[in-house]
C-alpha cells in the first residue's frame, strides 16, 4: 500500500515534466521556424521553382439555383495541399510531428472565382487553420458556400437541365509560379432540395494565357415531381374544362361566367410561371407557349359563347344574313335538323330533285345559327332528344300492346 502511494505522485510528476518539455520544445521549434520567415514570398528556394498545389473539391450539395438571377450556390469544402520546404524540421531534434497554425502565419494560395456574383475570393470572410508537418507538407481545408453565375436553360421546364461552369484560379501568380492540380470528390454529396447533380468534370486550363485555372463543369437537373403536381396537371385539367363550356345548356346562363373563370385561371398560372422564369431567357420555355395558346383558345371560346348566347336569345322572326344561312343549311342538311322542314303543301318532289333544292327550302332561324356554331352542345342536345323520342316511342308501343 505504501509502495503504491509512492508510485502515484512519481508518475504525475513525470507527466508534468514531459508535458513541460514538450511545450518548451514546441516553442523552440516555432521560434526557430519563423525567426526569418515571411508569408509574403512563395515557399521556394529558387525563383524558377513552381509551387504545385493539389486542390480537391468536396461537394456537399446544391444549396440553391436561382434561374431568374442566374445564380448557383454550392455547399462545398476545398482541400489544398502543397509543400513549404522552408518550414521543415528534424524529428530527432524537435519532437512535434505537426503544428496547427493560423492561416495568416504562413504563405497560402488564395483561390478566386472568375465568374462570381458578389465576391471574388473563395471563403474570404472565414478563417481556417493550417496543418504543418515535419517534412514541410501543408494541408489547408476550407469550407463554405460558393456562389457563381450560371446561364439557365428553361426551354424544357420542368424537365430542364442546366450546365454550369465554375472557373477558379489562384491570384496573382502565373502558372510558372503556382500550378494547380485539381480533383473532385462526391463521397460527401447529399441529394436534397429541388436539384440533383448529373454529369460533372474538372480539369486544369490556362486562363488568360498566364494563370493556372480550374474549370469545373456541373450538370444540374430539376426534380420534376413537384412541378408536375402543382403546375402541369392543373393546366391540363383546365384545358379539358375549357372544352366543356359548350356542354352547358344555353338556357341556364352559366356559360359566360364559366368561360371567364377558366380564362382567369390560365392567366393566374401564366403569372406563376413567369415569376419563376428568367425575364430574358433564351430560348423561351415551351410551357409558356402552351399556356399562351391555351389562354388564346379560352378567350376564343369565351367569344364564341357570348355570340352563341346572343344568337340563341335573339328575335327568331328576324332574318338571318345570307352567309350564315348557307352555313346553317349545309349543317342542317347533314344532320337533318328538325327545323329543316319541307312544306307539305308543295308539289310532290321529283325523283331527279337535287339535295341543294331541298336545302334551299329549309327555314333557318337564329337558334339554328347558335346551334351550328355550338357543335358540341348541338350533339349533346340532339342525343338527349333522340333518347326522349325513343323513350316516348317505347311507351307508346307498350300502351298499344296492352
Q: What tens digit of pLDDT does each residue of 47-60 get?
A: 888 999 999 999 98
CA atoms of 85 and 52, how far apart (whole Å): 12
Structural domain ending residue among the three candidates 160, 192, 223: 223
Residue 317 lies in a domain: no
The SS3 assignment for 300 reads helix
Q: Which residue's entry shows cell 367569344?
A: 303
CA 218 to chain centre: 15
Residue 6 lies in a domain: no
CA atoms of 354 and 347, how far apart (whole Å): 15
- Using the Cα atoms of residue 119, residue 125, residue 126 and residue 129 in order, give the sign of their dihedral: positive
Same domain (yes/no): 170, 219: yes
pLDDT per position as a tens digit, 289-347: 888 888 888 888 888 888 777 777 777 777 777 777 776 766 655 544 444 443 333 34
Same domain (yes/no): 187, 64: yes
Same domain (yes/no): 210, 234: no
Same domain (yes/no): 206, 300: no
| pTM > 0.85 | no
Structural domain ending residue among the three candidates 184, 200, 223: 223
Same domain (yes/no): 162, 230: no
Same domain (yes/no): 214, 279: no
Structural domain ending residue among the three candidates 278, 312, 346: 312
Same domain (yes/no): 98, 195: yes
Residue 298 lies in a domain: yes
> Residue 357: its pLDDT value, please?
45
Same domain (yes/no): 241, 202: no
Same domain (yes/no): 175, 196: yes
**Strand order across the beta sheet in which 98-101 lies:** 98-101, 130-133, 137-149, 71-83, 51-66, 178-185
Cell of 218: 456541373
CA atoms of 374 and 319, how far apart (whole Å): 20
Q: In terms of Cα–Cα distance, which of 268, 272, 164, 261 is closest to 217?
A: 164
> Residue 338: its pLDDT value, please?
44
Cell of 41: 514570398
Confidence of residue 22 (pLDDT cuts 50, 70, 90): low
Same domain (yes/no): 99, 165: yes
Confidence of residue 384 (pLDDT cuts 50, 70, 90): very low
pLDDT at 82 over 90: yes
Same domain (yes/no): 263, 144: no
Residue 368 lies in a domain: no
CA atoms of 27 and 189, how far apart (whole Å): 40
How would you classify the pairing of strands 130-133 and 51-66?
unpaired
Cell of 107: 504563405
Residue 43 near residue 105, CB atoms below 8 Å: no
Residue 342 lies in a domain: no
**Domain that includes residue 167, residue range:** 33-223
> Residue 40: its pLDDT value, please?
87
- Return the ∠ at Cα 76 (arms to 70 and 77), rounded to 5°: 145
pLDDT at 19 over 70: no
Same domain (yes/no): 158, 261: no
> Residue 391: its pLDDT value, please?
55
Show the beta-strand stretches assigned E in 284-336.
none
- Using the Cα atoms of residue 249, residue 250, residue 253 and residue 257 in order, give the sign of their dihedral: positive
Amino acid at each position: 500500500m505504501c509502495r503504491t502511494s509512492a508510485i502515484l505522485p512519481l508518475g504525475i510528476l513525470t507527466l508534468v515534466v514531459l508535458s513541460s518539455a514538450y511545450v518548451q520544445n514546441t516553442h523552440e521549434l516555432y521560434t526557430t521556424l519563423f525567426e526569418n520567415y515571411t508569408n509574403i514570398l512563395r515557399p521556394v528556394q529558387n525563383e524558377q521553382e513552381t509551387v504545385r498545389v493539389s486542390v480537391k473539391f468536396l461537394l456537399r450539395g446544391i444549396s440553391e439555383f436561382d434561374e431568374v438571377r442566374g445564380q448557383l450556390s454550392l455547399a462545398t469544402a476545398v482541400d489544398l495541399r502543397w509543400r513549404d520546404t522552408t518550414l521543415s524540421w528534424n524529428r530527432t531534434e524537435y519532437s512535434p510531428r505537426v503544428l496547427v497554425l493560423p492561416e495568416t502565419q504562413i504563405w497560402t494560395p488564395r483561390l478566386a472565382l472568375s465568374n462570381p456574383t458578389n465576391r471574388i475570393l473563395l471563403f474570404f470572410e472565414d478563417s481556417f487553420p493550417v496543418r504543418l508537418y515535419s517534412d514541410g507538407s501543408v494541408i489547408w481545408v476550407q469550407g463554405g458556400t460558393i456562389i457563381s453565375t450560371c446561364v439557365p436553360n428553361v426551354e424544357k421546364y420542368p424537365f430542364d437541365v442546366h450546365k454550369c461552369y465554375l472557373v477558379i484560379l489562384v491570384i496573382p501568380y502565373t502558372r510558372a509560379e503556382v500550378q494547380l492540380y485539381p480533383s473532385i470528390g462526391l463521397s460527401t454529396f447529399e441529394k436534397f432540395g429541388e436539384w440533383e447533380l448529373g454529369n460533372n468534370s474538372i480539369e486544369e486550363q490556362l486562363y488568360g494565357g498566364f494563370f493556372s485555372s480550374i474549370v469545373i463543369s456541373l450538370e444540374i437537373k430539376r426534380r420534376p415531381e413537384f412541378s408536375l403536381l402543382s403546375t402541369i396537371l392543373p393546366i391540363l385539367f383546365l384545358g379539358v374544362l375549357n372544352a366543356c363550356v359548350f356542354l352547358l345548356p344555353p338556357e341556364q346562363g352559366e356559360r359566360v361566367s364559366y368561360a371567364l373563370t377558366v380564362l382567369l385561371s390560365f392567366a393566374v398560372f401564366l403569372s406563376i410561371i413567369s415569376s419563376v422564369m428568367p425575364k430574358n431567357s433564351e430560348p423561351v420555355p415551351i410551357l409558356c407557349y402552351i399556356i399562351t395558346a391555351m389562354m388564346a383558345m379560352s378567350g376564343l371560346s369565351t367569344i364564341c359563347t357570348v355570340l352563341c348566347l346572343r344568337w340563341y336569345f335573339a328575335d327568331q322572326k328576324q332574318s338571318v344574313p345570307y352567309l350564315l344561312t348557307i352555313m346553317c343549311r349545309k349543317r342542317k342538311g347533314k344532320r337533318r335538323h328538325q327545323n329543316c322542314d319541307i312544306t307539305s303543301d308543295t308539289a310532290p318532289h321529283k325523283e331527279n330533285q337535287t339535295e341543294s333544292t331541298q336545302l334551299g327550302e329549309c327555314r333557318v332561324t337564329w337558334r339554328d345559327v347558335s346551334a351550328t356554331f355550338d357543335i358540341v352542345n348541338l350533339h349533346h342536345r340532339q342525343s338527349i332528344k333522340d333518347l326522349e323520342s325513343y323513350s316516348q316511342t317505347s311507351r307508346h308501343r307498350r300502351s298499344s300492346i296492352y
